[in-house]
Structure 1
Amino acid sequence: MKTKECPSCAMEVDASSKVCPICQYEFAETKTSYKWIAILLVISMILLLLNT
């Protein structure tokens, strides 16, 4: 079972949890589409810098 640490109370909780069962901290949802957009932007910036 994958776990993650709650930044508020430092308890290990299930990785799929949206809320910590101990302190009710709400984990931010990260969408994979944002990650891919960021990766593509970084790659394109690197390519632009290499071509100049």
Structure 2
Amino acid sequence: MKTKECPSCAMEVAVKSKVCPICQYEFSEISTGYKWIAILLIIVMLLYLLT
């Protein structure tokens, strides 16, 4: 089973977990599409500022 570390309590929890069972930290789920859009916007802004 794959695990991830809770940023709040450092407990190893299952990758599919939405909430840490120890500290109740809620993991955010940002889709990969939003990540790519954010990266592209940052690149465009940097290119605009450099010209």
TM-score, normalised to structure 2, is 0.69
Q: Percent same amino acid at aligned positions?
A: 78
Count of equivalent residues: 51
Q: Structure 1 residues 33-42 or 16-25, which shifts more?
A: 33-42
Residue ranges of structure 2 left out of the alignment (5+ in a row): none
What value does the CA root-mean-square deviation take over the aligned residues? 1.8
Residue of structure 2 in register with 1:17 after alignment: 17
Residue ranges of structure 1 left out of the alignment (5+ in a row): none
TM-score, normalised to structure 1, is 0.68
Q: Which runs of 4+ in 1 moved over 2 A?
A: 38-48
